[in-house]
Amino acid sequence: MAHTPQAKYRKDYQSPSHTISDLDLTFDLHDKATLVTAVSQVKQQLDSTTLNLEGDNVELKSISVNGEEWSDYTIHPASLEIANLPSEFELVIVTLIDPEANSALEGLYKSGGAFCTQCEAEGFRRITYYMDRPDVLAKFTTTVIADKAQYPFLLSNGNRVDEGEVEGGRHWVKWQDPHPKPAYLFALVAGDFDVLRDKYTTKSGRDVALEIFVDKGNLDRASHAMVSLINSMKWDEERFDLEYDLDIYMIVAVDFFNMGAMENKGLNIFNSKFVLANNQTATDADYLGIEAVIGHEYFHNWTGNRVTCRDWFQLSLKEGLTVFRDQEFSSDLGSRAVNRIGNVRTIRGPQFAEDASPMSHPIRPEKVIEMNNFYTLTVYEKGSEVIRMMHTLLGEVGFQKGMKLYFERHDGTAATCEDFVAAMEQASGVDLTQFRLWYSQSGTPTLRVESDYDAENKTYSLTVEQSTEATHEQKEKQALHIPFDIELYSASGEPITLQCNGEKVHNVLDVKQDKQIFVFENVTEQPIPSLLREFSAPVKLEYDYSDDELIFLMVNARNEFARWDASQMLLGKYIRTNIDNIQQGKGVELPESVIDAFRGVLLNEELEPAFISEVLSLPNHNEVSGWFKQVDVDAIATVLKEMKVTLAQNLNDELSATYHSLKQDEYTIEHAAIGKRSLRNTCLAFLANNENGDALVVEQYNSSNNMTDTIAAMSAANAAQLPCRETLMQDYSDKWKHDGLVMDKWFALQGMNPASNALDNIKVSMEHSAFSLKNPNRTRNLIGSFLNFNAVQFHAKSGEGYQFAGEILRELNSSNPQVASRLIDPLLKYRRYDQQRQDLIKVELEKLKAMDNLAKDLFEKVTKALEA
Ligand code: B3K
Ligand code: ZN
């Protein structure tokens, strides 16, 4: 490395030396040379006549102060230092940038034929020199000038206030955003689009124009995004009493985007994956993903934009809270149980894995080298669990009071996580002193629970011990405040009233000490406990359930989540046992009673099909890997496969009957219809392993009238390595080769292909006309799926998988470090594998470390992993 990147620490926060009240931007757009004129109204705050502005990859053309050319400045590698300034002044900075060469997709860049921006977290500095930090809020006015024929639409934040034409076939549009905002919420788009228009009237009567911009020809794929937007606006009014605050809300879909979407004020920019859908191109999961992401970005308008973050260490202030809000939105619109199950799978799988990796960090990190590395499952998903725990502790009414107070205090400002917790605490009267530790302590706590029934005294006690293992950068751990939701059942399945010291107690216990004993009175028979209901805290639960108890809970627990959880614990027991068996050279076995329990769920007509589908879905390889200190890649894969085959064979008749009974002629995206398809396709995934599996899959593929069933057939063929796989893959590619977004599903299947020649096929797929390593979606689907969801082939003992990953990472390091940095995660966990694999992975990490142009993104992760 040329010079070692420096870390920033949360404790070093300093308020800005200057404020900027207004920023007037003019963009003269050209592919290779865009001229940016930035006029700022600046006021000195601290005792300093020097102003430091961040800048990255920008060429300074001129500086003037109060109308005079200014020569008192120094250009540093990542900043501009302007000296001897008056206390209040107008600053004009002109910079030149090259959007076409911007393959990092941060700042101003070209996506297909359009110009677009991505500024969060620190991309605005790639547009002009500026105080690129979230606590500097200014009113933006933006003028965009471009060729009229090529770029008929010129968009930016706020309201369109003026427009005109200039010589040479160019035109301009001027936008004004009345809400002061930090630079990371700035956006600009110029291009030619089809536009889907609608309108929404807020509950106080404000008319809002809604516009969704998509590539020409894609209008028939935009309507679900529009419906989702309108639903989001309505839901936020009803559940949170929050209304939209501008006259226009625009969403632009682009094909080249590093993540899902971006909540720029009034002008969201989206990865086209989260906008475009019709039944021929999108699966049910895509539809639900669009609803969730449209909601998420819309909800940011209040939690993120109206109240933003003081500094980037506070990211979870807006992300954890907004994820919580989008989860609630999806749960209110669809099935709460199924949504909760999905979210819990994410925490128990990838989030727990992140917590156990060298990148482990608290939801409010203390130390950062590259901020983009902290848009993580921990900050987002665990952050949302922390908000959810507060919701559990305060109840909906108390929580909403807290939200009101939070907005009263902080609207229009940049706030901290502490501000949020303080508002929650003061509005509700609930003491959150110890609870705050969730913000600073990293790692996954374990709750070890033991029970004891005293028949004579009719008491039942639960002994709860909590502990958190040391993490990479935090050795000492303290006891957390853990809301522990429980219920006790009698043998007949009746809930037992919880009583302590003669009084009825709430079913959410406050676990606050290393070890605590809860004694319940008047318990007249040996109860069966349902523990950590609703996954009331992001912890690992350890309790020695017998098979019978779990089977009992699968049937009798009053809430669906608890039933599902019991089914997963039961599967988990046998996954562990069978991994032991395989390691000792024995075979995989599953007792009849366990198979019967799953048969019972499959045949239970009172259960929602979507829920049954979740019960029948085994945890994936990654989640199971997380249960072990040393991961036995092949044993886990064998057990998961064999257990699936065993269930498939034993339940063949029931699976087949269910499969056939759930056929729908019409495709609709109503939740009930989605649920039926989900269960039917889960059945197919089992049946694919049985006799006639191939014929059944081919039949479904050929008769499918929607992408969900098409992809389900292909996935089943892929996972079970059916003879029809090749034909189906070829047919799909012939049909969709012109459409990258649709081809992503095909690339993902190539990435996940369990065949021993998967890597060769992946290399061939990279030559497919729809593939490009420059496009993050393509890269994530093909390469990302291989690294993340093809454990056996990626971890092949030959080391070929690792070498391939190394090559790709070295290439992406120069073209798009953010994508590289996401892709590298599986390699960081190398210490969990056997010595031979560790050594092979380490070689690749060392090679990266030795690169002299290693980007900060990879530098931070590689060094952490190697020192861990
Ligand atoms: N706030 C953006 C994420 C920005 C990521 C920067 N690397 C999208 C979201 O969370 O809504
Ligand atoms: Zn977000």
Question: Which helix H or strand E contains 93, and what residues bound it?
Answer: strand 88-97
Neighbour tally for 397: CB within 10 Å: 9
Ligand positioned closest to the Cα atom of 817? 1
CA of 231 to the centre of ligand 2 (A): 18
Among protein residues, the one whose CA lies closest to atom 1 of ligand 1 = 262
Measured in angstroms, how far is the CA atom of residue 439 from the centroid of ligand 1? 20
Rounded distance, CA 317 to CA 185, Å?
A: 16
Three-state DSSP at 131 gives: coil
pLDDT at 134 (0 to 100): 98
Between CA 558 and CA 737 the distance in angstroms is 48
Q: Give the closest ligand to the alpha carbon of residue 271.
A: 1
CA distance 142 to 138: 12
From atom 4 of ligand 1, which residue's Cα is the shortest distance away? 120
Q: Whose CA is nearest to atom 9 of ligand 1?
A: 262
How many angstroms does the Cα of residue 705 sit away from the middle of ligand 1? 35
- Ligand 1 pocket check: which of 185, 259, 323, 381 to mutate, most ligand atoms within 8 Å of Cβ? 259
Interval 780-809 mean pLDDT: 98
Q: What pLDDT is attached to residue 1?
A: 53
Measured CA to CA in angstroms, residue 403 lies from 398, 400, 769 at distances of: 9, 5, 50
Tell me, in angstroms, the distance from the centre of ligand 2 to residue 320's CA: 8
Strand partners for 69: 64
110 Cα–ligand 1 center, Å: 19
Rounded to an integer, what distance in angstroms lies between the CA atom of residue 785 and that of residue 792?
A: 12
Based on its alpha-carbon atoms, the radius of gyration of the chain, rounded to whole angstroms, reads: 28
Residue owning tokens 């059942």 = 489
**Atom 2 in ligand 1: residue holding the nearest Cα:** 262
Q: How far is the CA of 300 from the centre of ligand 2 (A)?
A: 7
**Strand, coil or helix: what is 432?**
coil
> Could you read off the pLDDT of 675-711 as tens digits, one per residue?
999 999 999 999 999 999 999 999 999 999 999 999 9
**Cα(262) to centroid of ligand 2, in Å?**
7
Euclidean distance between CA atoms 100 and 80, whole angstroms:
24
Cβ–Cβ under 8 Å, residues 127 and 117? yes
Task: For residues 835 and 817, give the distance between their C-alpha atoms in angstroms, rounded to a whole number.
Answer: 29
Distance CA 72, CA 645 (A): 74
- The CB density around residue 672, as the number of other CB atoms within 10 Å, is 12
CA 181, chain centre distance (Å): 24
What contacts 231, CB < 8 A, 6 or more positions away? 291, 295, 329, 333
pLDDT score for 433:
98
- Kindly give the distance from the C-alpha atom of residue 419 to the centroid of ligand 2, in angstroms, as a whole number: 19
Q: From the alpha carbon of 296, which atom of ligand 1 is closest?
A: 11
The minimum-distance atom of ligand 1 relative to the CA of 259 is: 5
Cβ neighbors of 694 (< 8 A, separation 6 or more) are: 688, 717, 722, 723, 724
Closest CA to 270 of 295, 246, 304, 248: 295
Q: Is 219 exposed, middle or buried (0-12, 13-18, 19+ CB in 10 A)?
A: middle
DSSP classification of residue 167: T
The pLDDT tens digits of the residues spanning 33-87 come to 999 999 999 999 988 999 999 999 999 999 999 999 999 999 999 999 999 999 9
- Among candidate residues 802, 835, 792, the one with its CA nearest the CA of residue 639: 792
How would you write 68-89 as a 3-class SS string?
A: EECCCEEECCCEEEECCCCCEE
Cα separation of the two ends of the chain: 20
Phi, psi of 624 (to 5 degrees): -65, -40
Nearest CA to ligand 1 atom 8: 262
Nearest-atom index, ligand 1, CA of 261 = 8
**Token pair listed for 593:** 């009673």
Supply the residue whose CA is at minimum distance from atom 7 of ligand 1.
Answer: 372
Nearest of 200, 221, 375 to residue 296 by alpha carbon? 375
Q: What b/e string do you get for 781-819 counting C-beta neighbours within 10 Å, with b at 16 or more? A: bbbbbbbbebbbbbbbeebebbebbbebbbebbeebbbb
Cα separation of 503 and 615, whole Å? 36
Q: Are 682 and 716 in contact (CB under 8 A)?
A: no
Q: At what angle do helices 835-849 and 856-867 cross, to 10 degrees?
A: 140
Residue with tokens 């034409």: 165
Q: Please list the helix, strand and coil fractions of the chain in percent, rounded to the nearest 5, in that order.
A: 45, 20, 35
Which residues make beta-bridge pairs with 28?
Answer: 35, 145
Residue of 185, 262, 384 to mutate, ligand 1, most atoms within 8 A of C-beta: 262
Q: Which atom of ligand 1 is nearest to the CA of 297?
A: 11
Ligand lying nearest the CA atom of residue 317: 2
Q: Given this model, what pLDDT does residue 302 score?
A: 99
- For a mutational test of ligand 1's pocket, the pick from 120, 232, 377, i.e. the residue with the most ligand atoms closer than 8 A to its C-beta, is 120
Contacts of 735 (CB under 8 A, 6+ apart): none
Alpha carbons 91 and 40: distance in angstroms, whole number: 5
Task: Tell me the backbone φ, ψ of residue 511, rounded to 5 degrees.
Answer: -90, 120
- Rounded Cα distance between 53 and 588, Å, is 63
Burial of 231 (0-12, 13-18, 19+ CB in 10 A): middle
Contact criterion met (CB below 8 Å) for 631 and 697: no
Question: What's the gap in Å between 375 CA and the centre of ligand 1?
Answer: 7
21 in Cβ contact with 45 (< 8 Å): no
* Closest of 697, 688, 746 to residue 720, by C-alpha: 688
Strand 459-468: give its sheet, edge to edge: 515-520, 459-468, 445-454, 540-542
Which ligand is in closest contact with the Cα of 821? Answer: 1
pLDDT by residue (tens digit) across 56-65? 999 999 999 9
Q: Please, what's the b/e burial string for 8-21 (b: 16 or more CB within 10 A of its CB; e: otherwise)?
A: bebeeeeeebbbbe
Atom 10 of ligand 1: nearest residue by CA position? 319
* Pocket lining for ligand 1, CB < 6 angstroms: 120-121, 259, 261-263, 296-297, 300, 319, 372, 375
3-state secondary structure 684-743: HHHHCCCCCHHHHHHHHHHHCCCHHHHHHHHHHHHHCCCCCHHHHHHHHHHHHCCCHHHH
730-752: average pLDDT: 98
Q: Which of 254, 330, 319 is nearest to 288 (CA)?
A: 330
Measured N-to-C along each axis, helices 707-719 and 693-703 cross at an angle, to the nearest 10 degrees, of: 160
Q: Which residue in this structure is represented by tokens 């011990």?
A: 465
Cis peptide before 121 (omega within 30 of 0): yes
Look up residue 806 and give its two tokens: 């190394």
Token digits for 238? Answer: 């009803």
- The whole-number pLDDT of residue 399 equals 99
**478 pLDDT band (50/70/90 cuts)?**
very high
Q: Which ligand is nearest to the CA of 323?
A: 2
Q: Which of the following is catalytic: 120, 122, 211, 297?
A: 297
Residue in the structure block whose two tokens are 């128990």 = 348
> 3-class SS at 424?
helix
342, with CB counted inside 10 A (0-12, 13-18, 19+), is middle
Atom of ligand 1 nearest to the CA of 258: 7
Neighbours of 696 (CB within 10 A): 22
Identify whether 670 is a catalytic site residue.
no
Return all residues near 77 (Cβ < 8 A) that are at least 6 apart: none
Atom of ligand 1 nearest to the CA of 121: 6
Cα(445) to ligand 1 centroid in Å equals 27
Interval between CA 646 and ligand 2 midpoint (Å): 41
Beta strand 495-496 pairing with 503-504: unpaired
Q: Could you give the CA distance from residue 53 to residue 65 in angstroms, rounded to a whole number?
A: 14
Residue among 621, 627, 612 at smallest CA distance from 659: 612
Q: What percent of the chain clears pLDDT 90, i.e. is strictly above it?
A: 99
Atom 3, ligand 1: residue with shortest CA distance:
262
* CA 818 to ligand 1: nearest atom: 7
pLDDT of residue 3: 75
User: In this structure, are strands 445-454 and 540-542 parallel, antiparallel, or unpaired?
Assistant: parallel
Pocket test for ligand 1, best of 319, 327, 384, 822 (most atoms within 8 A of CB): 319
Asked if residues 648 and 687 have their Cβ atoms less than 8 Å apart, the reply is: yes
Q: How confident is the model at residue 2 (pLDDT cuts 50, 70, 90)?
A: low
Give the distance, in angstroms, between the CA of residue 401 and the centroid of all CA atoms in the same chain.
Answer: 28
Q: Which ligand is nearest to the CA of 297?
A: 1
pLDDT in tens, 99-142: 999 999 999 999 999 999 999 999 999 999 999 999 999 999 99
Burial class (CB in 10 A: 0-12, 13-18, 19+), 84: exposed
